[in-house]
Amino acid sequence: MKTKIFTLKLMLAGMAVCALSCKKGATIGAQPDGIADGKFTNITSKFSVADHVIETGMTLTQINAVIAGASAGQTVYVQPGTYTITGKIVMKAGVKIVKQTTTNPIFDATGLSNILTLSYSTELNNCMFSGITFWNIRMVVTGATSTWVKYCIFDYAKRAASTNKTNNLKDDYVEFLSTDSSLVSNCVFSHRSTDPGRGVWVKSTTNAKILNNTFGNGSTTGYFVCGINDNSQTNSLIDNNVLNRNTALNSVDSLTDHGIYAHSFNGLTITNNTISGWPATGSGGAVKVRNGQNATISTNTMNGSGVLLYEYDNIPAFPYLKYVVVSGNNINMSATGNDAYHGIGYYRDNTTDMEYSILIQNNLIPNGTIWINGANLSTANFNASGGGVYNNDTASGNLYLKSGIANSGNY
């Protein structure tokens, strides 16, 4: 009899330990009589911080408490639902924020009058956001290493009043400054008609990657000033993104600033992107690259405008454009034009330095133009180290080249 009583006590003790230590959602058998479902749920929900789960309905304070309870290398899971965000989501180095189910949870700051900026530094070292939808929220990351933003959605940004493409510029969703090995991949970026803006901007970065993202749908979510801005320091890769801008924004010239716009770089690769909707003007262009060195622009598809290669005199640290390859792109123009905007164009107004080794080859530009002209241009430097214009298919060889530019095989 004593043995049976002792065994029963052990069983009850085991059930009590399990109730206190099992993770939320674990199966622990039938609930004991007298404990209602609601009371049982309240008991287990106390373990959401320890279990690193952001539960539906949590406040910003509770969200930050869950993140604070995680350690480097651990993952905080977010349940489906819409969470009101009014301030900073406080991160810890090495922690990942990931959706718990197939449904993206929504971090919603649309209750604020302007876009909410979440400013981070090294607390985002080795961090990842994955599968989260951000409404009216932008991230600015400075000095961090290996920050990843994957499978996220950014929408409903509210542009600050009285701003344009050169004033304020706080209209991008993700911004990296002086970071190393950042990654933005498989995300969706949207801007609405009342609040046009930018997508991703990298500044003074090393080893930045922007891959497989979608910027706009060409209609209701395609009101982009610029899709991707790149002012990287070294080794930036922009690959396999789709940028689809609403052409209605063309009438607002003060809010047009190129599809992919890069300057002040050393080591830049722009490949396999599809870019549509930017006008064939000085304020447009699917890709604009100026004042930098070691750039490759290849195997992209551009619709409505093409590649602008510029060298300005207003960036003294990079008073040149050197070692640029524009190769194998498909540029679809609706009309030709004797200018730099209707296909591939090169222009320089800088007189303190000059271009060096610019190669344009194997591009398909039906009904388009290759325009390389200007009084300051040095043909010898343009042609140096294999530079020149070769084997491009334009509208019946529609070339406007300064005399002395090396060229052959164009048709």
Rounded CA-CA distance 86/102 in Å is 25
Q: Which of 8-12, 237-241, 312-316 has the lowest mean pLDDT?
A: 8-12
**Phi and psi dihedrals of 132, rounded to 5?**
-110, 140
**69 in a structural domain:** no
Of 132, 259, 122, 145, give the one whose Cα is nearest residue 199.
259
CATH number of 115's domain: 2.160.20
pLDDT for residue 200: 98
Rounded CA-CA distance 246/268 in Å is 27
Residue pair 45/65 in contact (Cβ under 8 Å)? The answer is no
Residue/partner pairs of 374-379 with CB below 8 Å, 24 or more apart: 374/346, 374/347, 374/348, 374/349, 374/402, 376/348, 376/349, 376/350, 376/351, 377/346, 377/348, 377/402, 378/354, 379/403, 379/404, 379/405, 379/406
**338 in a structural domain:** yes
**Phi and psi dihedrals of 18, rounded to 5?**
-65, -40
**259 in a structural domain:** yes
pLDDT for residue 50: 66
Rounded CA-CA distance 189/227 in Å is 9
Q: Structure tokens of 74?
A: 């651990």
**314 in a structural domain:** yes
The mean pLDDT value for 300-316 works out to: 93
pLDDT for residue 2: 42
pLDDT for residue 186: 98
Rounded CA-CA distance 340/323 in Å is 19
Residue 30 pLDDT more than 70? no
**48 in a structural domain:** no
pLDDT for residue 48: 63
**156 in a structural domain:** yes
More confident residue, 254 or 199: 199
Residue bearing tokens 């002792």:
6
Residue pair 293/266 in contact (Cβ under 8 Å)? The answer is yes
Q: How many domains does the chain have?
A: 1
pLDDT for residue 10: 39
Of 259, 392, 376, give the one whose Cα is nearest residue 325.
392
User: Per-residue confidence at 122, pLDDT binned at 50, 70, 90?
Assistant: very high
pTM to 2 decimal places: 0.88
**Phi and psi dihedrals of 11, rounded to 5?**
-65, -45
**386 in a structural domain:** yes
Which range of residues forms the domain containing residue 154? 82-408
**150 in a structural domain:** yes
In tens, the pLDDT along 39-95 reads 333 333 444 676 899 999 999 999 999 999 999 999 999 999 999 999 999 999 999
Rounded CA-CA distance 381/204 in Å is 27
